[in-house]
Chain A
Amino acid sequence: DAKTTQPNSMESNEEEPVHLPCNHSTISGTDYIHWYRQLPSQGPEYVIHGLTSNVNNRMASLAIAEDRKSSTLILHRATLRDAAVYYCILRDVAGSGNTGKLIFGQGTTLQVKP
C-alpha cells in the first residue's frame, strides 16, 4: 500500500487560510490523492481528491506538485468547525488485484483558534 506522511498536528487562526501538507514520494501513476477529515465523534467525511491537476470544490482546494510526490490541502478561511483530523490517502484501483481500499494513516490534527 502506498504510504503518505503528514505532520501530526497544526494550528491555525480562525478566518485565516490553512495549508495542510502531505508527502507521498512512492506514489504510482494510477494513484488518486484523496483527502478525508474526521470531526470529533464522527465518521470520516470526504473532502476532495485529484490525480494530476489542482482541484477546487466548495470545501477546499487541492494543490498537487508537478512530480506528484506531494500535495497540499488548502482551507481558504478556517472556521472553528474545521477543527478535525485530516487524512491524506492514496487510492489505486488500476490493475488486477487492486481493491480500491482506503488506507488511513495517523493524519494531521488541525486546531483552529478563535
Chain B
Amino acid sequence: EAGVAQSPRYKIIEKRQSVAFWCNPISGHATLYWYQQILGQGPKLLIQFQNNGVVDDSQLPKDRFSAERLKGVDSTLKIQPAKLEDSAVYLCASSSSRRRGDTEAFFGQGTRLTVV
C-alpha cells in the first residue's frame, strides 16, 4: 500500500513569511497527526485529527500555526508568520483508529523547514 505522502521535502523561508505543508495519509486512515521535530529531539505532537475533527491541539501554537483536514482526507499545516525557532522537520502520520492501542502509526518522510 502507498505510504504517507508529504510535500514539499524541503523549504527555506525568511522569518515573518508564511509557509504551508501538505500531507496525504494512507487511504482509509481516520486518524492523522502532525509532529514537529527539532534537531536532536524526539517528535512533538502538534495536532491530531479524527476524520475532519480536531481531537487534540493542546501543543499547537495557535497564534501562528493552523491546520485543517477538509473532507477527512488530506491535511495542511500552515505557519504564519514564521519565526527562527520554527526551523524543524514537520512529520505527518496516520493510523487506522485512535481507539485501538494495538494499531500502528505510519509516518511520512517529513518536510524540513529552515527559517532564515
Query: Contact: A45 with B98, CB < 8 Å?
Result: no
How many pairs of A and B residues are in contact by the CB < 8 Å rule? Answer: 68
Q: What is the CA–CA distance of A40 and B32 in the complex, to the nearest angstrom?
A: 23
**A30–B101 CB distance below 8 A:** yes
Main DSSP-derived SS at the A contact region? loop
Contact present for A92 and B110 (CB under 8 Å) = no
Residues of A within 8 A of B19 (CB): none
How far in angstroms is the closest Cβ of chain A from B29?
A: 12
Q: Are B43 and A100 in contact (CB under 8 A)?
A: no
In the assembled complex, the Cα of A105 lies from the Cα of B72 at a distance in Å of 28
Cross-chain contact B43 with A91 (CB below 8 angstroms): no
Q: Flag if A100 contacts B100 (CB, 8 Å).
A: yes
Q: How far is the CA of A103 from the CA of B36 in the complex (A)?
A: 12
Among A30, A34, A45, A102, contact of B33 (Cβ-Cβ < 8 Å): A102
Count of B interface residues, CB-CB < 8 Å: 29
Assess the B100–A105 pair: CB atoms within 8 A: no
In the bound assembly, the distance between CA atoms of A94 and B99 in angstroms comes to 7
* B105 to chain A: closest residue by CB: A102
Report the Cα distance A92→B102, complex, angstroms. Answer: 9
CA distance A36 to B99 in the complex (A): 19
Q: Give the residues in chain B near A85, CB-CB below 8 Å.
A: 42
B24 at the interface (CB under 8 A from A): no
Contact with B along A81-113 (1 / 0, CB 8 A): 000010100011110000111111111000000
User: Can you name 17 extra interface pairs (CB under 8 A) apart from A94-B101, A99-B56?
Assistant: A43-B4, A43-B110, A44-B43, A44-B91, A44-B93, A46-B106, A87-B42, A92-B101, A99-B50, A99-B98, A100-B31, A100-B97, A101-B45, A101-B48, A102-B33, A104-B35, A104-B44
The 10 tightest CB contacts between A and B, nearest first, are A43-B107, A100-B98, A32-B101, A104-B42, A46-B104, A93-B101, A99-B55, A104-B43, A99-B56, A44-B107
Which residues does B use to contact A, with CB under 8 Å? 4, 31, 33, 35, 41-45, 48, 50, 55-56, 91, 93, 95, 97-102, 104-110
